[in-house]
Amino acid sequence: MEDFSTHDIPSELPAQTKSPWGTEHPQISLVARTITMDYLATCVELLLGIFMLPFNTSHLGKSAYGLWVLTASITVYFGMLNLGYAESLVKFVSQYRAQKDATRLNEIISTMFFVFAGVGALAYAAAMILASDLGRLLSLSPEQARTGRYLLLIISAYVALGFPFSVFGAVVNGFQRKYLNGSIAIATSILVAVVNVIVLLLGYGLVELVACTTAIRLLSYLGYRLTAYRVFPALRISTRHVRLSRLKELTAFSVYMLLIDIANKLNYATDVLVIGVFLNTAAVAIWAVAQRLTELTRRLTDQLSHALFPVVVDSATIGDNERLRLLFLQATRLSLAMVLPVCAVLALLSQQVVLLWVGPQFIESVPIINTSGF
């Protein structure tokens, strides 16, 4: 196996970026930037959601909005087709970066890019099969089934392409530069919201809305790809770097990530499908309002966990147990400090929040919020 050498670096790169590892920064600075940008992006998304949900329900109606949520929830399960490799890839990118092993990095990234390309094709084929018989699978009228088929195929295209493009996100996360993608995420969220408002104000329907907003999200993939090459200038994705040994290496870790992912899907994503099968899309919309609020607490802790994961791997790789101890201690304290006030407000003021946010037509969401395990 050949080691990385300087001839693999493009000659047009500036001298200061000739290192395959990009520009180095103090780790405390990287962590602070990542956490700050993650929460800024989350706040922007949540604030936009506060405005967009009542706007969309008022223009689309309960049933149409519920249909949108229901079809999107089906594609959530496609994420399990990554078999835990997405999270595993972040772990090994971080590990090989700490070891300064560019050869293995390119091998593991190239291998997973082509594996994920196949997974994406499989996911879209599954979406086509489900779309062909959507009306019988869910409690949908013929018109809803026809609309649902279009929505499922459009959203599934975004999900399918997301599999191979996820390797670029793994590179950025593994290099602890996730904050660089924060601006892309914020710009995408704002642009999607603007397009959403314009499409509905112009009188277009649900299919046109989902098609336009999905197109914006697809364009964001190109931004994430550029960021990956920025943080790792020596990145090379090629079939000649594909190694079965790298896939086996990832599998030993990914199986545990897959089990965690399955548990999360069963815990957080099953309810919408059950409601869609046994009730109707209006009931899905009522559930979606409650879920959006209760999901807030999980998002707060998830962002912190995702930001610290590559730091934990880096610390474990170099054997810095003291830093690991401090990370776990401070992260636990910070998570509690963020979550407890939010839970208290939602538990005590859920009815007032729902009435102020989406109006009395969603008052049935209140009992769901109050029984969601605060």
Confidence of residue 25 (pLDDT cuts 50, 70, 90): low
Q: Which residue has the higher pLDDT, 15 or 368?
A: 368
Report CA 239 to chain centroid distance, whole Å: 27
**Among candidate residues 83, 11, 62, 105, the one with its CA nearest the CA of residue 275:** 62
Helix or strand (DSSP H, E) at 296: helix 281-318
CB 234 within 8 A of CB 104: no
Cα dihedral sign for 276, 72, 260, 367?
negative
Cβ-contact 147, 199 below 8 angstroms? no
Of residues 263 and 222, more confidence is placed in 222
For residue 247, give the nearest of 120, 116, 125 by alpha carbon: 116
Distance between CA atoms of residues 53 and 65, nearest Å = 9
Tell me the percentage of the chain whose pLDDT exceeds 90: 28
Res 5 pLDDT > 50: no
Task: Give 224-234 pLDDT, tens digit per residue.
Answer: 999 999 888 88
How high is the pLDDT of residue 120? 94
Q: Is the pLDDT of residue 45 over 90?
A: no
pLDDT classification of 12: cutoffs 50, 70, 90: very low
Q: Is the pLDDT of residue 123 over 90?
A: yes
Residue 209: the pLDDT is 96
What percent of the chain lies above the pLDDT cut of 70?
Answer: 87
Domains identified in the chain, total number? 1
**Is residue 322 a part of any domain in this protein?**
no
Unique residue bearing structure tokens 């102020």:
356
Q: What is the pLDDT of residues 254-293, one digit of tens each?
A: 887 788 777 777 776 677 777 777 777 788 888 888 877 7
In a domain? residue 361? no
In a domain, 318, yes or no: no
The residues, any chain, with a CB within 8 Å of residue 317's CB and separated by 6 or more, are 94, 95, 98, 99
Distance CA 129, CA 227 (A): 35
Give the type of residue at 239.
Answer: T
Q: Is the pLDDT of residue 149 over 70?
A: yes
Please report the pLDDT score of residue 151 as a whole number: 94
Half-sphere exposure for 172 (CA within 13 Å, toward CB): 24
323-330 average pLDDT score: 78
Residue 313 lies in a domain: no
Q: What is the mean pLDDT of residues 120-149?
A: 89
- Which of 168, 184, 193 has the alpha carbon at shortest distance from 223? 184
Residue 298 lies in a domain: no
Over the chain, what is the mean pLDDT?
Answer: 82
Q: Is the dihedral of CA 162, 166, 172, 176 positive or negative?
A: positive
Q: Please, are residues 173 and 93 in contact by the beta-carbon 8 Å criterion? A: yes
Does residue 351 belong to any structural domain of this protein? Answer: no
Q: Give me the sign of the Cα torsion angle 213, 272, 304, 92.
A: negative
Could you tell me if residue 97 is inside a domain?
A: yes
Domain enclosing residue 51, as ranges = 18-251+269-279
In a domain, 141, yes or no: yes
Query: Predicted confidence band at 154 (pLDDT cuts at 50, 70, 90)?
Result: very high
Question: CA-CA distance, 80 to 244, in Å (whole number)?
Answer: 21
3 pLDDT higher than 60: no
Classify 237 in phi/psi space as left (phi over 0), alpha (psi -120 to 50) or beta. beta
Q: What are phi and psi of 15, to 5 degrees?
A: -60, -35
What integer is the mean pLDDT of 311-323? 73
Q: Which of 50-59, 160-169, 338-347 has the lowest mean pLDDT?
A: 338-347
Judged by phi (left if over 0) then psi (alpha if -120 to 50, else beta), residue 319 lies in left
